[in-house]
Every structure is written in structure tokens, then in C-alpha cells.
Structure 1
Amino acid sequence: MKFLVLGGTGRTGALFVKKALDEGHEVTAVVRRAGSSVDPRAHLVTGDVTDAAVIAKAAHGHDAIISTLGVKSAGETPTLITDMVRAVIESAKTSGVDRFVLLSAFGVGDSLAKASFLVGPLFRTMLRKTYADKAASEVLLKASGLKWTLEYPGALNNGDSTRYSTAVLEDVKKTPIFPSTSRTNVAEFLLRAAVGDAFIRQIAVVFDAK
């Protein structure tokens, strides 16, 4: 398959790119600057991930768009995820690519009510602006005609866990006090969802399994 990756220079994005390439898929990554550090086997396109024309041109001929885009500073780019999602939705009109798998976070939207007493306050305070942007983007996504899948991991870690549990958000009744997910597992789920067309128009909660 051919994937267009947004956020491929980040730690999670780099893992996804490597996994996809190792399994024989083709990868194109949209990067802000020429010479960005991305697996040399990937094809690079320089441009703005919030520009629908850039995404549409890069996505042409691909099977799916994958976003692992993160926000470094909510103060500097408070609507980055919403603007990116809006651009992807618009790009589908000309690229014809309507499969979109993207990384979000547990604690966004309806998942906040399922968070434990320990992490709930963190989501409502320190991560409030970042999560508000993600939630706003998902309102647009759910109203679009795209075949989307959202991944909600716990706090990202750099561990070597390769076992994880997956459940549709609506089916989640109880969560760990401090849910955590390795970047390896996050990337693995994104790839499996994209290749297998799993969890279409669903939110998947992904946590490391003990």
C-alpha cells in the first residue's frame, strides 16, 4: 500500500514510517523543511500540512493518509490539528483519498469522562488547550465523508512493549489509573488499522497490556 504521512519527523511518526517501509509499503512524508530527518527510503514532499492543495497533490495515488502530528506549543499553534484535519478533508475532493487514520489522545472529547481521578484533572488543566484543539478537529472529522479512524492512546512512553489492548471508546467501562501506551504500539495500531481497514469511523482506545 501507499501511505501519505503527516508528522513523520516526530518520534511516533518515525516509528510508523519505519514499520510501514519494513513491511514493504511505500511512504510519502510531508515535511516543513527540505532535508528533514526521515527514513531515507521515504519520499519527501516539502509543504504545510494545513494547506489542502499541498496535501491533495502529495496524496494523489496513495491509499491512505496517516497523521501522527503533534503540537509542541499550544500557545504558538493553538489550532494546528484542527487546521490540518480541515485541510485533509478538503484535499479529498481532488485527491480522491478518503481513508484517514490519525493519532489523538485518551482524555479528548467523550473519553475525558472515562479518565481516572488521577489523570482527569491533568487533562482539564495542563492539557486543556491541546485537547480542545483535538476535540474541535474531531467534530469536523465526524461530519466529513471520510473513512476515518481515531487512535486514543494513553500517555506515550518509549518502552519496548509490543502487547496492547484495543477497544472501541463506547465499549470502554474501566481504565487504568494512569493509562500508558508505547510509541511502538501506537505506530503498530496505526499501521494495522490502515492496512486492514479496521475501526472505520470509530475511536479506538489503545493501552499497553501487562
Structure 2
Amino acid sequence: MKIAVFGGTGRVGSSFIRMALDQGHTIQALVRDRDKADDLISKATHIIGDVTQEEDIRATINGCDLVFSSIGTDKTTTLSESMPLIRKVMEKQGITRLVTIGTAGILNSRYEEGKYRFQSSESKRTKTFAAEEHLKAYLELQSSALHWTIVCPTYLPDGEEVGGVRYEIDFLPKEGKKISTNDTARFAFEILDPPSFSKKRVGICY
């Protein structure tokens, strides 16, 4: 398969790319920093550009079968600006499968009905900007015809795969505290194709 990747030089994205390449897939990744891409994901095909520009997204997705995104927030609106464009290009090109990395904050609150976790007492974060950005991306995908899945990890330290990943649709599994970047990437890779959890948010943790 040929996979288009956005956010490929991030912690989860670069791990995902290495896994996909090891399995014989081809990666076409949109990157801003050529040197960083050469260092982290040298075996992927690099498209140098900006994920908020439709033409750069189009060049990245062109000829691909599936799309993976781990675009971060980094105190910017990059995620909420880019997701409508990714959706638009995918729909124009007839590509339907998208797996993206979200945050546990946009899962449903288990104890406060009608709220997202970041709006409830379940969240320990005082700042909500990142969760609000991820929520905008979720609402954008929710209104689309794409076969999307949002993988929603809780606290995400760097780390190797240790296995034992628990998951739950729309909620974070009870007592979930953390999950490593590599286990998050592995979960996303394994559900990409054949597609699992279509049009669902999936909370993951140990």
C-alpha cells in the first residue's frame, strides 16, 4: 500500500512510518523541515510543504491508498485549519480511509453525561486549547463521508512497545493512565487496513 502521512516527523508519526516501512509499505509524507525528515524518516518520500495549503496536501495524497495523520497542536490552529482541507482532497480523489491521532480529552466523559472528558472533572489539565483543536477536527470528520478513526491516547510519554493495550469506543478505559508513543503508533497502524472502528473515536491506554 501507499500511505500518505501528515505529522510524520512527530513522535507518533515517525514511529508509525518506521513500522509501515518495515512491513513493505510505501510512505509519502508532507514535511516542513527537510533536515529533520532526513534524520527521522529518511526512507519515506518527502513532500516539502505546509499542511495548511491545499496544493501541498493534494501533492501528498496523490496516488495513495490510505491516509494517516498525527498532526499536533503546538499552540497553533494548524490542526483545525488542515483537517477540512485533508477531507476535501480525500473526497475529491476518492480516498476514504483515514486514521488520525487525537487526544483522550475528546472522548465522552464517563461520569458527566453530555460532556467531553476535557470539559469534565476527569481531566487534570487546566488549559483546553489542544483539546479544543482536536474537537474541531473530530467534528469536521464526523460530518464527512470518510471512513475515519480517531485514536485517542491518554498521557503519552516516549517509550517502546510493551503491549497490553486496552481500548474502548468513545471512552477511555477505566483507570487508564498512560500509553507509550510506540504502542500508540502500533495500534494506529494495525487498525488502518483492513479498516477497523470506522467513524469512531477509540480511547487507548494500558
**TM-score normalized by structure 2?**
0.87
Two-structure CA RMSD over aligned residues (Å): 2.2
| Partner Cα distance (2:33, 2:182) in 1 | 25
Q: Counterpart of 1:181 in structure 2: which amino acid?
A: I
Q: Which runs of 4+ in 1 moved over 3 A?
A: 111-116
Deviation at 1:194, TM superposition (A): 0.8
Pair 1:139–1:4, CA change in 2 (3 A): same
Q: Counterpart of 2:70 in structure 1: which amino acid?
A: T
| Partner Cα distance (2:22, 2:168) in 1 | 27
Does the 8 A contact of 1:163 with 1:185 survive in 2?
A: no
> Which consecutive residues of structure 1, in runs of 5 or more, have no partner in the other structure?
none
Deviation at 1:115, TM superposition (A): 5.2
Aligned equivalent of 2:193:
195
| Partner Cα distance (1:110, 1:103) in 2 | 16
| Partner Cα distance (1:42, 1:12) in 2 | 15
SS at match of 2:67: strand
Does the 8 A contact of 1:6 with 1:31 survive in 2?
A: yes
Deviation at 1:92, TM superposition (A): 1.7
Does the 8 A contact of 2:117 with 2:123 survive in 1?
A: no
Aligned equivalent of 1:64:
66
| Partner Cα distance (1:24, 1:111) in 2 | 39
Deviation at 1:9, TM superposition (A): 0.6
Name the % identity. 24
| Partner Cα distance (1:149, 1:121) in 2 | 22
* CA distances 1:49-90 after superposition (whole Å, capped 9, x unpaired): 122222122212211111111122x2xx1x221111111111
| Partner Cα distance (2:67, 2:51) in 1 | 12
Aligned pairs for 1:48-197 (under 5 A) are 48-72=50-74, 74=75, 77=76, 79-108=77-106, 110-111=108-109, 113=112, 120-123=122-125, 125-126=126-127, 128-160=128-160, 161-169=162-170, 175-176=174-175, 179-197=177-195
Aligned equivalent of 2:21:
21
| Partner Cα distance (1:135, 1:195) in 2 | 24
Aligned length: 198
SS at match of 2:140: helix
| Partner Cα distance (1:183, 1:163) in 2 | 14
> Which consecutive residues of structure 2, in runs of 5 or more, have no partner in the other structure?
none
Does the 8 A contact of 1:57 with 1:95 survive in 2?
A: no
Q: Counterpart of 2:42 in structure 1: which amino acid?
A: P
| Partner Cα distance (2:12, 2:73) in 1 | 13
**TM-score normalized by structure 1?**
0.86
SS at match of 2:205: strand
Pair 1:145–1:202, CA change in 2 (3 A): same
Deviation at 1:32, TM superposition (A): 1.0
